[in-house]
Amino acid sequence: MILIIGGAFQGKKAYAMEKFSLKEEDFTDGACCGEEELYQAKALNHFHEYVRRCLEEGWDTAGLPERILEKNPELILISNELGSGVVPVDAFDRNWRETAGRLCCSLASGAEEVHRVVCGIGTVIKGG
């Protein structure tokens, strides 16, 4: 698995498309996909939004990184970094931020490569 992280609107998807020769149709959107789609996707954009939906719908995220790594080891997963900036006042948003961060840490630990994108420029921070 390859994890691509970075702030909002930093060019993560464009970077992934260029770096890994992906087309628009290769992407599944975490904002609206189901768990089975996650395991079949070539590339997943907006993983942080998938996490948000899991929390909103009361789904258990325990073991999610392990399932992703096991069932879709070739996945290219893109997620916003949510841990920087002002801490949200809303308890749900704080929980979402923490959960997404912890899941990404776990995914990064098992990933073959981790890339961080800032201003459209990617840096390999693991593997590669």
- pLDDT tens figures, 77-122: 999 999 887 888 999 999 999 999 999 999 999 999 999 999 999 9
Please give the mean pLDDT across all residues of the chain. 96
> Residue 88: what pLDDT?
85
pLDDT of residue 87: 85
pLDDT of residue 80: 97
pLDDT-derived band at 23, boundaries 50, 70, 90: very high
Q: Which domains does the chain have, with CATH numbers?
A: 2-126 (3.40.50.300)
H/E/C letters for each residue in the chain?
CEEEEECCCCCHHHHHHHHCCCCHHHEEECCCCCHHHHHHCCEEECHHHHHHHHHHCCCCCCCHHHHHHHHCCCCEEEEECCCCCCCCCCHHHHHHHHHHHHHHHHHHHHCCEEEEEECCEEEEEECC
